[in-house]
Structure formats: C-alpha cells, structure tokens
Chain A
Amino acid sequence: MPPQITTSPLSRPDGSATYTDALSTVLAAVNGPLEVSRRDELPSEATLEIHVRPAAGVGGPRERWLEAVLHAVLRSVVLVHLHPRALVQVSLQVVREPAGGGVGLGKGRGEVAVLPALVNAAVLALVGGGVGLEGMLSAVLVAVGGKGELVVAPGVEVLEGCESLHAVACAAGGGLVMDESTGRFDLGVWGEVVERAREACLAAFASKGEDEAMANGDVEAEPWMRQVLEEKVRDANAWREST
C-alpha cells in the first residue's frame, strides 16, 4: 500500500505535509528562508534547523539523535548556498509511531522505524515550501525476517519478529544518503537490503518512462511521491484552465 499524503494541511507555515504509512504518521512544517540569529549564522550558506517532537511527552536524547541524522540527510539535498545568512526551519511532529515509541520492539528499533517517515515528510514539506532542492530524495524501511527474507515497508507484526531493521534513504541519482541499521546482520544481507531499498526509493519519484523498468519485482512500483507533487502543481494551476 502506498503511503497516504496530505499536502499543505497547515495554513501558517510556508510548506507542510503529513505522511502516513503502515507504521507511523508524521506532520512536517517548513519555514524559510528566515532571519537567522547571529549565533547560528553561516556567512556562505543557509542554516538548517530541524525540530523533532515525539508523539507523547517532550523531546529527549532520542529526538536529538533523530535531528542529527535528519540534518545530515536534508542538508545533502537543500541548496543551502542559495540563501546565505538565512535559516530554513523544519519542524516534525510525530503523530503516531510503532508500538508507542518502540518500547515493545527492542532497543533502537523504534528510532530506526520512524526515520523513513520523518525523512519523507520533511522532503514533501520542503518541496511544498518552495525551498530550493538539489534533487529528490526518499526513504524506506526494510526489515530482515528470521529466515532472512526482506520486507520493504513492513507492518508492525513483521517489526516485532525481525532480525534486523534498516532505514535507508536514496537521492535521485541512486546515491545513498542515509543508512541507519539495528539488529544482527552481516555484510551480504546489508548489501541486499541496500539494493532493494534503492529500488524502492527511486520508484517513489520515478518518471513514467523509468516506471516500467522498476515494475519488475514485488517492490511497490507506484511513484507515489511524484504523483502527490504533480497533483499539487495541477491543483495550483487549475484556475488557468477555467479562464
């Protein structure tokens, strides 16, 4: 099942999006370019500020870690040099996460499981907010089951019984920009995981021509990210058709 997206659910920020998949729901808001405080100012590029709020309670070390990972990922696609001495603010509110923040999943799994949703929501909000991007980016969660089978975008029941869990993000060229793994696995398994994840990530925004090439295999071949973004542009230009 492709993820459910709402574009621009919020009216006040410059760009916003909600992202819902089998495991988590994330609400993202983007503001920028804004005035940056003297302390954070960078003379040649925009400062990227990420805020992650958990579904319940206030953020702690876990959220700081997620922010650090996301900062590195998003900085690789945002054209920071276009807005020197400015601030781009990305706020992510986790609305729903697997098994209440991963308490019942084992150490580290809840964090890795929510990462792809955070990345995807942030990218959709950044595009919606008109922040210049180098290229598209999407993330996917891959679980390796007890018998070594790979499950792309797993559900909660798969998550509970899996050997290892991998959050992988790929940029448009196929380059790996995020790889956070947890559990027991070896290099061979990891290589397979990355290959499958790359296919799934690129399929999310593949254009119609490339789409057929991706369709082999049971990876969800539907370019959901492209569909959502194109739909939004079409809606925005709908008034032209009627005049």
Chain B
Amino acid sequence: MSATILLPGEELPSDSLPKTKKGTLTLGPGLRHIPPTSITATTSGSISVDNKKSAVWLENTNGRYQPSTGDLVIAQVHHGSTDTYHCALTPQTPFALLGQLAFEGASKKSRPHLLSGDLVYARVSRAVKGEDVELEGFNSATGKSEGMGQLKGGMVFEVSPAFARRLMMGSKGGVKILEGVGEKIRFEVAVGRNGRVWVDSGNVRTTAAIGRLLTSSDENAWDVEEQEKALKKALKDMS
C-alpha cells in the first residue's frame, strides 16, 4: 500500500476522489475546497478515501487535537459556574463547556458534583470554529450514559492524539497491549481522542504498568512484535 502523499498547497488529483453515486462529497481533515473545483491540502499526509461515505481526507499524525462533533474525549474539570463546568481538553486552549445537567439521570435536585481536577469521559456535542466547544456526559438523543460520565479513581496517561485514535480503532489499530493485558488482569480503560488514556485496575502498581506500556509504545512507535515482547515482560513483573 503506497498512498499518494500530498504536501501543503498541493491539489488533490481528481482520480483519488471517492467513486460513488452519492451527490455529496465530504472533506476530512487536511483538505480545503477552493471554489469552484479545486481541492488542496493544508498539511502533509497521505490521501485516504472512503467510497461508502463518499469521504476523502489526509491521514497524518501531526499536530494538536482539534475537537469535532461526536468525538469521545477525556475532559478535566477546571472550574464550575452556575450551570456549566469549564473543562480542559488540551493544554493552553480555551475551556470546553460541559452542562451540569448533561449527565444520565441528572436533574436540578440530583446531579453529579464535580470538583476542579475531576475527570469526565464526554462527547463533543458542538464544535464550531471560533466558538466555545460544548461537551455532554450522556447521549442526549437516548438519555443513556453509554459509558460516559465521571471517571473515578485510576490514572490518566498522555499519549499522542494519533495513538489514541489507534487505540480506539481496536484490533484494526495495530495495538495489542490492551487486549493482551486484559487476558490476564481485570482493568477498566477509557480512551479520549484528545490524547488521554484513563486506566483503573484497582491497584496503583498495575495501573501504572499498563499506562507505562501504552506511553512507551507510543513514544517508541513499537510494532506488534515489540509490543508483545514488552507485554510479556510487564506481565511477568506484575504477577
């Protein structure tokens, strides 16, 4: 597989547009449309096409996490105000807003009381350029939490946004660590697209060991073999 690589400013070749009968074309990250007909890259990356969704985007690993609607993120509460919590998604960026009632079963009388520093697994419900990002701690369409909500205990580890994305892809992402550890040890994990992984195994030693496996796999770009080797060693140390 050798996809075409584009550099900033280069035009998307028309033969790499998705081949569908669908009338609309979705442009993903790294591309912009200059009317009337040219599509150019804004950053470097390899062209990826999804024919079913009629989408085309640039696959790259660079840069800071940019919130987009529907992303699952791990937000850290910075402070609360009358009806919202102000949460940090990435350092040095404006706070995202999380409604105090945007949790499963929350009402004016009973709602989760979060303090500064608390972690929430949330979804980006609104991300418009130049405006505040909004989060929700439950699926507002169904009213169910679907795994979202406050994260109690455990530890958070920082990884690159690209690695977090691979973790969320499951077995397709080429990261075997979580499955490998899960065969031996019981633990909970939440992966946020903003480059944060929360791990809780009820035991600080194993939690830290799992986190260390993930962060060093990200930093050293381990392939599957190296991951398995490190995993074996870590499991031996843990038991």
Contact = CB atoms under 8 A, between A and B. Distances in A.
Q: Do A and B bind each other?
A: yes
Contact of B8 (A31, A135, A236, A241): A135
B63 interface: yes
Nearest to A84: B130
A229 B44 contact: yes
A35 B92 contact: yes
Interface stretch (A65-73, A123-131, A140-148, A185-193): A123-131
Contact of B62 (A11, A31, A83, A130): A130
A213 B172 CA distance: 42
Interface string A1-44: 00000000001001100000000000000011111000000000
Interface in A204-243: 205, 207, 226, 229-230, 232-243
A127 B7 contact: yes
B8 A136 contact: yes
Nearest to B48: A237
Interface in B61-111: 61-64, 92-94
Contacts of A243: 172-174, 224
B141 interface: no
B174 A239 contact: yes
Interface residues of B, number: 35
A242 B5 CA distance: 19
Given A238-B221, A241-B1, A34 B61 contact: no
28 contacts: A11-B219, A15-B62, A34-B92, A35-B92, A35-B94, A79-B32, A82-B129, A83-B129, A127-B62, A129-B62, A129-B64, A130-B62, A132-B8, A132-B32, A132-B42, A133-B8, A135-B10, A136-B8, A230-B44, A233-B5, A234-B5, A236-B61, A236-B62, A237-B3, A239-B173, A239-B174, A240-B174, A243-B174
Interface of B: 1, 3, 5, 7-10, 30, 32, 40, 42-46, 59-64, 92-94, 129-130, 162, 166, 172-174, 219, 221, 223-224
